[in-house]
Amino acid sequence: MVLSDWLEGLDYELLQGSLEVQVSDVSYDSRKAKEGDVFVCMTGTRVDSHLFIPQVEEAGVRVIVIERPLKELLKAVSPQVTVLRVKDGRRALALLSAARFGYPARKMITVGVTGTKGKTTTTHMIKAILEAAGKKVGMIGTNGTVIGNRVTPNLNTTPESYQLHQAFADMVEAGCEYMIMEVSSQGIKMHRTDGLFFDYGLFTNISPDHIGPDEHADFAEYLYYKSRLMTMCKVGLVNRGDEHYEGIVKDASCRLYTYRVAEEDGAAADFEARNIRYVAEENFVGTEFDVTGRLSMDVRLGIPGLFNVDNALAAMSLCSFMGLDKQRMSHALEHIRINGRMEIVHTSRRCTVLVDYAHNAVSMESLLATLRNYHPKRLVCVFGCGGNRSKDRRYSMGEIGGRMADLCILTADNSRYEKPEDIIADIRSSIEKTGGAFVEIPDRRQAIEYSIKNALPGDMIAVIGKGHEDYQEICGVRHHFLDREVIEETVKKLGERA
């Protein structure tokens, strides 16, 4: 390829050299730069990659994209190197990466999902529905990049643009017809999604989050970047029940539709969930509800909670635009399991045991309130808190556990460089003020085993905080540990007694 073939949509100024130079790849890490690369310089908060121009030239790079004026870099840039100047290096990286991989996202039907809560669950539900309909699907998000049975961890919910387009290309090569991804506000702000135009965009909800240094200045900025998805898609679907609905759709340029859980009076939506029932049976814990509006069907959802009704309605509403069979949609949702997200690991006459990623006060309170709707004999919560993090989280989770659970089993999470006993002591200091019942078992495996061995008939046990994580970090070292595996092993050992 020649450089000129890769410049679609990119605003640039050619400062020196030729656009007809041969190129083969794009790089932005000077340590990985090589001959044939287009090296993109970016001015970050911690590192300015313009400083590494001499090193990438030495590595054989002959095309460099810069943000700063060339006169500031004359001593660093050789005359034989082609130099383009752009306003934003991150945007340039996104557009060049798309071109380098042959615009793979355009070869699939694409779905982007954003929102404060529910992104991961909703994308998994969409994937399950599509796969039940016989479609091959690729997915990118918090739980990694999924192509078939291969899962690759991601550093960010929305990876860097080069990794995104590389993943899209892998999906196309694997025969994926659909691509679903979580679109974070940070991903939009940092231009990782520049140049993407989704076939469908879905906005689940928004509440204050990700506000602070290196994230968003305030809620207004957070909302602004989240709402950009509605300018980056052909068809947009938005939660009509969200209190910030008007702000979400203010600049929308897509064909817009709405959904909502119609528990209370409110503005009508195109898709509505009604008549919600909480179901707890020996082999099924979840909800049943009716969908009305542009889609009409009865649903049996194999994940507990009202907020998962919200997520399922969003997934079904979006998939309805694709003309999928209702029976297959229904079957997918009845049998769905999402790793670490309200994941029912064991159900029996004696007890139900689930795993969830709830690791802060807001998510813990929401989870326990949801489980109360199933009227368990006792609601037992197994949890700890991460080390080397704000202590406020420990105090608030202890207070919520003491107030909302019948029994809390305090244990280790990712203690990092702290002692688990010290973290538990902080949790204890707030749980004691509530008068709630608790026991302390620092070893997480023993804590989970204790919760199941001592379950009373009708108990519901929530093992929370780590969810899908398959490790436990102790003194900076990650050791394999997966809550689901420990639960399954314990149930197997107990046999009929579980």
Is 212's pLDDT higher than 90?
no
Give the model's pLDDT for residue 264: 64
Residue 117 annotated as binding site: yes
Query: How many whole angstroms separate alpha carbon 493 and alpha carbon 490?
Result: 5
Model confidence pLDDT, tens digit, residues 337-393: 988 989 999 999 899 999 999 998 888 999 999 999 999 999 999 999 999 988 999
| 26 and 93 both lie in a single domain | yes
Q: Are residues 94 and 237 in the same domain?
A: no
110 appears as a binding residue in the annotation: no
Ligand-binding annotation for 156, yes or no, is yes
Helix axes 161-173, 89-100, angle to 10 degrees: 10
SS3 for the chain is CEHHHHCCCCCCEEEECCCCCECCEEECCCCCCCCCEEEECCECCCCEHHHHHHHHHHCCCCEEEECCCHHHCCCCCCCCCEEEECCCHHHHHHHHHHHHCCCHHHHCEEEEEECCCCHHHHHHHHHHHHHHCCCCEEEEECCEEEECCEEECCCCCCCCHHHHHHHHHHHHHCCCCEEEEECCHHHHHCCCCCCCCEEEEEECCCCCCCECCCCECCHHHHHHHHHHHHHCEEEEEEECCCCCHHHHHCCCCCEEEEEEECCCCCCCCCEEEEEEEEEEECCEEEEEEEEEECCCEEEEECCCCHHHHHHHHHHHHHHHCCCCCHHHHHHHHHCCCCCCCCEEEEECCCEEEEEECCCCHHHHHHHHHHHHCCCCCCEEEEECCCCCCCHHHHHHHHHHHHHHCCEEEECCCCCECCCHHHHHHHHHHHHHHHCCCEEECCCHHHHHHHHHHCCCCCEEEEEECCCCCCEEEECCEEEECCHHHHHHHHHHHHHHHC
- Rounded average pLDDT over 174-182: 97
72 has pLDDT over 90 = no
Question: What's the CATH code of the domain at 41?
Answer: 3.40.1390.10
Q: Which of 51, 77, 100 is the last residue of a domain?
A: 100
Give CA angle at 413 (411, 415), nearest 5°.
110
Question: Does the annotation place 118 within a ligand binding site?
Answer: yes
The per-residue pLDDT for range 127-162, each reduced to its tens digit, is 999 999 999 999 999 889 999 889 999 888 899 999
What domain range is 199 assigned to? 104-334
Residue 497: what pLDDT? 77
Q: Is 158 annotated as a binding residue?
A: yes
Tens digit of pLDDT for each residue in 453-483?
999 999 999 999 999 899 999 998 999 999 9
Structure tokens of 25? Answer: 């790849």
Region 286-312 average pLDDT: 95
120 in a labelled binding site: yes
pLDDT given at position 398: 97
Whether the pLDDT of residue 90 is over 90: the answer is: yes
Same domain, yes or no: 83 and 115: no
End position of a domain, from candidates 334, 353, 387: 334
pLDDT digit string, tens, across residues 193-208: 999 999 999 999 998 7
In this structure, the answer to whether residues 143 and 195 fall within a common structural domain is: yes
Q: Was 49 annotated as part of a binding site?
A: no
CATH of the domain at 193: 3.40.1190.10
Residues 290, 352 within the same domain: no
Which tens digit of pLDDT belongs to each residue from 271-292? 999 999 999 988 899 999 999 9
Q: Based on the structure, what is the number of domains in the chain? A: 3
Copy the structure tokens of residue 53. 């121009």
Domain co-membership, 96 together with 214? no
Same domain, 88 and 109: no
Pair 38, 90 in one domain:
yes
149 annotated ligand-binding residue: no
Residues 145/169, Cβ–Cβ less than 8 Å = no
Residue 452 amino acid letter: I
Residue 70 has pLDDT above 90, yes or no: no
Write down the pLDDT at residue 69: 87
Structure tokens at 199: 């076939």
If you search the block for the tokens 């991601």, which residue do you land on?
Answer: 154
Is residue 302 a known part of a binding site? no
Compute how many other C-beta atoms are within 10 angstroms of the C-beta atom of residue 422. Answer: 11
Residues 138 and 66 in one domain: no
> Is the per-residue pLDDT at 55 higher than 80?
yes
My answer on whether 290 and 435 are in the same domain is no
pLDDT of the residue at 367: 94
Quick one: average pLDDT of 97-117?
97
pLDDT recorded at residue 215: 78
Is 436 annotated in a binding site? The answer is no
Write down which residue in 306, 334, 362 finishes a domain: 334
Of 107, 106, 122, residue with least CA distance to 180: 122
**Whole-angstrom Cα distance, residue 330 to residue 326?**
6
Q: Are residues 65 and 111 in the same domain?
A: no
Does residue 139 share a domain with residue 187?
yes
The total of other beta-carbon atoms located within 10 Å of residue 22's CB is 11
What CATH number does residue 473 fall under? 3.90.190.20
116 is in an annotated binding site: yes
Q: What is the mean pLDDT of the chain?
A: 94
pLDDT at 124 over 90: yes
